């Protein structure tokens, strides 16, 4: 939700800035940017409501503004609608009723409106400035930020959630390793049917699985494209099992000490001991903010695991992707991963939970915190609007 400081001195430069804030170019979306003292605090994207009555539009607008108000020290907003419609001079701007509802709620909450813009198929325009009846050319957006020519991002809000194309040989190797581990653990008599080399490889993975936090921490420190097939299989094994998957997520949201504590708590919980509440809080988005780079690394790691395992074994990794995307404020991506998981396994627990949280508009508490520099001053990340 944050990015490098970029000065936006006009409406067109603000529109050029939005894709950088979101790391995508949104389609069929309302993007709301909260500000504190002229500095952006990130960006919130929601799907444009279609075919809704005014009462529903008012309700959605209240939720959008309410979410913006949860961001610490918000005192102003700017919004941009990304629509498929063509903007015609003299015709009402698309989604006017929804935008008016959002602006009305902002006024009720005492939020200053910096700008309210629409980007159509052929032009852009302002909901606040009646002096632009024909709109302005889209080319102005691309050339608005002279110091940031790469601001426009081609991918939309869903493209980045597509799993990477797997190497077929790697996928076959991981599938075979997982099958061999299953044989060694669940069907010991099948062990003799494996070659000595395959027995040895499976045994090595089983040995690795004896200390899940060590495996997970090693993965957190390794580039996803450098993780070996054996480690990918071991990670897939963990992500398939809810108890070990939760260890992974909480450890990646914290550190190996947290992972050890969660692993021990999972073990004693199975023996009837209560699970410590403090260890579970991050799962619901409560507590101190995790390291965002560590979470993003974990997300790329789980995306790689999901891309190389057989489809029927994918929900565990997809649910981990969903939670990690949710934890970093990428609700659209979280929904994509969770929906893909339930399409494979309709009863998949964590994926269903993530979808429920998304439907309720719930985001982690740390998403609304504003980072500060070590000196206690406001972070150098964000954007300024004059």
pLDDT (tens digit, 9 = 90+) per residue, 139-192?
888 776 555 545 445 566 777 789 989 899 999 999 999 999 999 888 777 788
Q: What is the pTM of this model?
A: 0.81
Does position 199 have pLDDT exceeding 70, yes or no?
Answer: yes
Count CB-CB contacts under 10 A for residue 176: 15
pLDDT cut 90: percent of the chain above it: 65
d(CA 201, CA 212) in angstroms, rounded, equals 17
Residues in CB range of 26: below 8 A, 6 or more apart: 18, 19, 45, 82, 156, 157
- Which of 68-72, 116-120, 336-340 shows the lowest mean pLDDT across its residues? 68-72
Please check whether residue 295 is in contact with residue 324, taking contact to mean a CB–CB distance below 8 angstroms: yes
Q: Is pLDDT of 112 > 80? A: yes
Residue 203 has pLDDT above 60, yes or no: yes
Is the pLDDT confidence value at 4 over 60? no
Position 131 scores a pLDDT of 73
Dihedral sign computed on CA atoms, order 238, 242, 247, 252? positive
3-state SS record for the chain? CCCECCEECCHHHHHHHHHHHHCCCCCCEEEEEEEECCEECCCEEEECCCCCCHHHHHHHHHHHHHHHHHCCCCCEEEEEEECCCCCCCCCCCCCHHHHHHHHHHHHHCCCEEEEEEEECCCEEEECCCCCCCCCEECHHHHCCCCCCCCCCCCCCCCHHHCCCCCCHHHHHHHHHHHHHHHHHHHCHHHHHHCCHHHHHHHHHHHHHCCCHHHHHHHHHCCCHHHCCHHHHHHHHHHHHCHHHHHHHHHHHHCCHHHHHHHHHHHHHHCCCCCCCHHHHHHHHCCCCCCCHHHHHHHHHHHHHHHHHCCHHHCHHHHHHHHHHHHHCCCHHHHHHHHHHHHHHCCCCHHHHHHHHHHHCCCCCHHHHCCCECCCCCECCECCEEC
Task: For residue 129, count other CB atoms closer than 10 A to its CB.
Answer: 12
Mean pLDDT, the chain, rounded, equals 87
Beta bridge partners of 8: 385
Mean pLDDT confidence for 337-347: 97
| Rounded Cα gap, residues 177 and 300, in angstroms | 21
pLDDT at 74 over 50: yes
Q: What domains does the chain contain, in order, with CATH numbers?
A: 7-157 (3.40.140.10), 168-367 (no CATH)
Rounded Cα–Cα distance for residues 57 and 105 (Å): 11
pLDDT over 80 at 105, yes or no: yes
Contact 338, 319 (CB under 8 A): yes
State the pLDDT at residue 21.
Answer: 84
Q: What is the pLDDT of residue 149?
A: 47
Instruction: Calculate what percentage of the chain has a pLDDT beyond 70.
Output: 90
What's residue 217's pLDDT? 98
> What per-residue confidence (pLDDT) applies to 144?
62
Task: Determine the pLDDT at residue 189.
Answer: 77
At 368, the pLDDT band (50, 70, 90 cuts) reads confident
| Residues making up the chain, counted from first to last | 386
CA atoms in the 13 A half-sphere facing the CB of 295: 22
pLDDT single digits (tens) 301-330? 999 999 999 999 999 999 999 999 999 989
Greatest mean pLDDT among 284-293, 364-373, 377-386: 284-293
Q: What is the average pLDDT across 90-101?
A: 92
């Amino acid at each position: 939700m944050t990015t490098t400081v970029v000065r936006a001195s006009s409406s067109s430069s603000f529109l050029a800035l939005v894709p950088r804030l979101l790391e995508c170019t949104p389609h069929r979306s309302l993007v709301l940017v909260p500000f504190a003292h002229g500095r952006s605090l990130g960006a919130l994207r929601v799907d444009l409501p279609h075919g809704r009555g005014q009462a529903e539009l008012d309700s959605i607008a209240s939720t959008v503004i309410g979410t913006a108000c949860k961001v610490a020290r918000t005192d102003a907003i700017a919004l941009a609608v990304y629509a498929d419609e063509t903007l015609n001079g003299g015709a009402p701007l698309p989604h006017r009723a929804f935008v008016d509802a959002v602006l009305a709620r902002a006024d009720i909450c005492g939020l200053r409106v910096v700008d309210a813009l629409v980007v159509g198929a052929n032009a852009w325009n302002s909901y606040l400035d009646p002096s632009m009846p024909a709109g302005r050319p889209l080319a102005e957006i691309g050339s608005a930020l002279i110091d940031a020519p790469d601001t426009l991002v081609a991918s939309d809000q869903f493209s980045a959630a597509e799993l990477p194309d797997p190497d077929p040989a790697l996928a076959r190797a991981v599938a075979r390793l997982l099958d061999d581990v299953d044989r060694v653990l669940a069907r010991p008599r099948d062990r003799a049917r494996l070659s000595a080399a395959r027995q040895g490889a499976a045994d090595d993975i089983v040995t690795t699985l004896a200390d899940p936090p060590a495996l997970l921490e090693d993965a957190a420190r390794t580039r996803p494209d450098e993780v070996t097939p054996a480690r990918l299989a071991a990670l897939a094994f963990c992500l398939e099992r809810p108890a070990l998957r939760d260890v992974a997520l909480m450890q990646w949201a914290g550190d190996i000490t947290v992972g050890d504590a969660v692993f021990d708590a999972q073990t004693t919980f199975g023996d009837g001991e209560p699970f410590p509440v403090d260890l579970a809080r991050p799962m619901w988005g409560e507590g101190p903010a995790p390291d965002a780079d560590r979470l993003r690394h974990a997300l790329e790691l789980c995306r790689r695991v999901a891309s190389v395992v057989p489809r029927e074994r994918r929900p565990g990794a997809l649910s981990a992707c969903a939670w990690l995307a949710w934890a970093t404020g990428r609700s659209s991506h979280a929904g994509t991963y969770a929906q893909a998981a339930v399409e494979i396994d309709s009863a998949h627990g964590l994926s269903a939970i993530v979808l429920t949280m998304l439907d309720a508009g719930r985001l982690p508490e740390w998403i609304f915190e504003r980072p500060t520099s070590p000196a206690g001053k406001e972070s150098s990340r964000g954007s300024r609007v004059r």
